Structure 1
Amino acid sequence: MVDQPILGAPTDVRVVTAVGVLAHLAMASSFLGTILLAVVAEYLYIRSHNQFWYNTARTFSVISTIFFGVGAAFGTLVEFGLVTLWSNFISLIGEAIVLPFYLELFAFLTEVIILPLYVFTWNKIKNQVLHWIIGIAAAFGGYYSAYNILAVMASLSMRPPGLEVINLYQATGQNVVGLTDYVVKWASPADAWNMFWWGANVFIFHGILAAVILTWSIIAAIYLYFYIRDKKPERLMMLKILVPTMAILTAIQGFVLGHLQGELVLQDDPLKLAALEGMFWSGLKVDPLTSFLAYGTFNHAFWGYFSWPAYERPPAFVFIFYWVFMVIFGILLGIWSGALSLWYLFPGFFGSFSWARALANFFERSGVYLMPFFAAFASIGGAVSAESGRYPFILVQADPNPNGSPPIITGVPVGPGGLLNPTLYFPVWLAVLVLIVEIAMPSLAVFMVYLYLRRAPKYVETEVKAVEY
């Protein structure tokens, strides 16, 4: 089915949806990163009794609550928009996604109940370990919520085993109340747990690590900015936690999870592979670099991007978001965070070389601006590559073509009869209004954090101990 726009609505709807989802991902990422930092800082306080870690943990527990509160309200707006703008999505895929969304409800309730308990019981619970456990429970709620949401997102790119896409119109000549020709169902009720299959878990943990890396990169840049100005030892203590963790997670993201996700795309979605790798040709052609990375040889042939009809192909710009944004900026983030990690962890060794001190000075001063830039654009590149890569189908599956033509790409079209409600009309002025709200909500959260930090309560100050971690 050709994906043709009606009444100008699909383009507006996709832009509004994309901005809303990316903005919500930014809010969720901020919560995941800040609540984790609060829990880590409280653990360091329990070990060292250093007041700096206590103040840090308490501050970031409040910041995480701000992001959670605004993010929860914003998430409701995004969900309402998805149900309204893509009402066919619920009609055809409700059975498939009911399990992870049901589990996500309990995760969300865990956040709602325990996060305020964590924030408002500082100095109220005398047993600091017990308070820390409450923080772990609050963080678990957030991460388990993200786990289930990302499981649904993973299924949209890689069809889980046992999930069947049925074209009712072709099979029976009927559709679902005139809205969609498709329905998605499990071959067996027990197959619902396949939403969490191996491929989904690769996608899930890839997304969770991206959230932590992005948030910690921004926080590290802020601490680095002030450390360059005043050289306070507590800021260096914080950088010794943030920067090496970023370097390690970036390495895992690229060399482990990124590699595994690339293998899944290679096996299951040749059209997406062609778009990501920039294979802009028709028919079979040898790509030496991709062949070497995928198979260890230089002579494997791949189906090119133009081998499939135009209405099936992802946008050509996916190649830019994948290679320039995600891959190159991700590598640069690894270089900057890795170099600073070596300098902060082994200053005695590198400090004896003048070239090392000069290089460290370069990475410090440029890292203030470049590390969050690299992390943000790498995250955007990864998100756009994943989301656009499935266009214009959902629950994608590739099957060999018996006549030797390109593999058959099957799924649910985005257009009329598929995900798009044919009765929908979405004028441009309404799209602009919704975009303004979608941009204003995350901006409000950032402004609230700014106000809190500007007027943060003065906790009991003690002399900072020179404790190294």
Structure 2
Amino acid sequence: MMDQPTLGAPTDVRVVSAVGILAHLAIASSFLGTILLAIVAEFLYIRSRNQFWYDTARTFSVISTIFFGVGAAFGTLVEFGLVTLWSNFISLIGEAIVLPFYLELFAFLIEVIILPLYVFTWNKIRNQALHWVIGIVAALGGYYSAYNILAVMASLSMRPPGLEVVNLYQATGQSVVGLTDYVIKWASPIDAWNVFWWGANVFIFHGILAVVILTWSIIAAIYLYLYIRDRKPERLMMLKILVPTVAVLTAIQGFVIGHLQGELVLQDDPLKLAALEGMFWNGLKVDPLTSFLAYGSFNHAFWGYFSWPADVRPPSFVFVFYWVFMVIFGVLLGIWSGALSLWYLFPNFFGRFGWARALANFFEKSGIYLMPFFAAFASIGGAVSAESGRYPFILVQVSSNPSGGPPVITGVPVGPSGLLNPTLYFPVWLAVLVLIVEVAMPSLAVFMVYLYLRRSPRREEVKVVEY
């Protein structure tokens, strides 16, 4: 009898893991974006006492709870999947990056306890400001959870100061329980807090801004569609909050946080820089554009992608995800959101010009489809650039080459003897089933939101009193 096809190659396992992580990221992003919008809308209600903001805040508090519930369950599934597929990872995180995981548990407890309190106390707490504070605490729990998880992801890309990677097999001829050759340790116990060093915070806030930009772009597109249909003033009120926020955050993301992130990659991982920037040559060569962006001159030379051995280089396709998806689509999102912001915030000024009205009509109708498209693919591009860009190592470190060649790139290998479980082989049909579940979970969350928004409005009985 023929053997059943099995899944065991690092590339195949990475596909299963990547789909699960991106799907979970989509649900988690939706929660963080919608809970933030809920507390912003409630704040506007407290200031204006406009019923529209109250209804909006209450609606998005429920929507955020739907995303949180599905995301929490799905996150558990993804976690067990990662532990199974990348079981060697467990032998590494014990000392290296357990601190943010431990702190994340407390953040999760805040979410679990405070979020239902926020949702089920509408009209139950007389002091609206107190209810708003409860919402802020629920949102902070979610963002602090994201902060700690992103700190772990940042460490995998840029090794924190004081974190040492020891190749146990080279040192003693032994491995850890026959699975991995590597042991990760801090030079000093107090160095464990270095997991939150400056570079990690740049990475963290880069990811958090991307979450808000993505979610609010999608919500803005929905309100834009509704506003074009009926031109209700409350839709315009919402767009005046959503669209300018997306524009401002996109500018900060690109010109401030993105620049700082690029400086870190430039200093700490020249191989990843070569892959991202498409420096597909061997040896040192001047790259005028990167030189100008990094050093303010046009004559700085960089080591090319092919200067390093093939088994060390990250995939070449990260160049497409970085430039086409993240950079170009991010710029286009900034253009669309910026143009609409000017039109909505200064209608009296731009309304005097026929060309401005024509452009606004174009940006409105196309923005329904293009804004969420640009935001989604920019986010995917950033995620793939970060995750695949560090392959085939995690906990990357760069040291000078004594022979004068390109810098030496070291870290923990992603494949066998590094992170991949070498004993795991499961049928391809099971992998396909896992992929189906991974895609179905965010779809389920969206469908639940659809059912909630399509619910029949409650009709209060009017009592007629006869005199």
TM-score (norm 1): 0.96
User: For residue 465 of structure 2, what is the aligned residue in structure 1?
Assistant: none
Aligned residues of 1:12 and 1:426 also touching (Cα < 8 A) = no
Stretches of 4+ aligned residues off by more than 2 angstroms = 6-9, 456-460
What is the alpha-carbon distance in structure 1 between the residues aligned to residue 200 and residue 28 of structure 2? 19
Letter in 1 for 2:36: L
Tell me the amino acid that sits aligned with residue 449 of structure 2.
V
- Which amino acid is 2:405 matched to? S
Question: Quick one: distance in 2 between partners of 1:291 and 1:213?
Answer: 29
CA distance in 1, matches of 2:199, 2:427: 38
Q: CA deviation at 1:299?
A: 1.1
Once the 2 structures are TM-superposed, how far is the Cα of residue 92 of structure 1 from its aligned partner?
1.7
In the alignment, what sits opposite 2:15?
A: 15
- 1:193 aligned counterpart, secondary structure: helix
The answer to whether residue 211 in structure 2 is matched with residue 241 in structure 1 is no
CA contact (8 A) 2:8 2:424 kept: no
Aligned to 1:465: none
* 1:262 is the counterpart of 2:272: no
CA contact (8 A) 2:7 2:13 kept: no
Q: 2:91 & 2:357 partners in 1: Cα distance? A: 61
Q: Quick check: 1:287–1:301 contact (8 Å CA) kept in 2?
A: yes
The alpha-carbon deviation at position 13 of structure 1 amounts to 1.0
Quick check: 217-226 or 95-104, which moved more?
A: 95-104
State the Cα distance separating 1:88 from its structure 2 match.
Answer: 0.1
Q: Name the counterpart of 1:295.
A: 295
1:333 aligns with: 333
Is this contact kept in 1: 2:217–2:372, CA < 8 A? yes
Once the two structures are TM-superposed, the CA of residue 429 in structure 1 deviates from its matched residue by 1.3
Q: Deviations over 1:222-249 (max 9, x none)?
A: 0000100100000000000000000000
Counterpart residue identity of residue 383, structure 2: A
Residue number in structure 1 paired with 2:464: none
Q: Which amino acid aligns with 2:41?
A: A
Secondary structure class of the residue paired with 2:426: coil
Who is 1:130 aligned against?
A: 130
Contact 1:12 1:428 in 2 (8 A): no
CA RMSD of superposed structures (Å): 1.1
CA distances 1:271-330 after superposition (whole Å, capped 9, x unpaired): 000000000011111111111111111111101001111111111100000000000000
1:419-451 deviation per Cα after TM superposition (whole angstroms, max 9, x unaligned): 111111133211111000000000000000000
SS at match of 1:124: coil
Specify the alignment match of 1:168 in structure 2.
Answer: 168
Corresponding residue of 1:227:
227
Deviation at 1:458, TM superposition (A): 4.7
| Structure 2 residue runs without a partner (length 5+) | 1-5, 461-467
Bigger mean CA offset, 281-290 vs 111-120? 281-290
Contact 1:343–1:350 at 8 Å: present in 2 too? yes
Matches within 5 A, 1:309-320: 309-320=309-320
Partner residue, 1:393: 393
The 2-side partners of 1:100 and 1:274 are apart by 30
SS of alignment partner, residue 396 of structure 1 = strand
The alpha carbon displacement at 1:457 in A equals 4.0
Quick check: 2:35–2:61 contact (8 Å CA) kept in 1? Answer: yes
Q: Do the aligned partners of 2:394 and 2:413 also contact (CA within 8 Å) in 1?
A: yes
Q: TM-score, normalised by structure 2?
A: 0.96
Q: Give the C-alpha shift of residue 10 in structure 1.
A: 1.8
Q: Which amino acid aligns with 1:290?
A: T
C-alpha contact (below 8 Å) 1:167/1:183 kept by paired residues: yes
Secondary structure in structure 1 of the residue aligned to 2:97: helix
Counterpart of 1:437 in structure 2: which amino acid? V
Contact 2:7/2:431 (8 A) holds in 1: no
Aligned to 1:115: 115
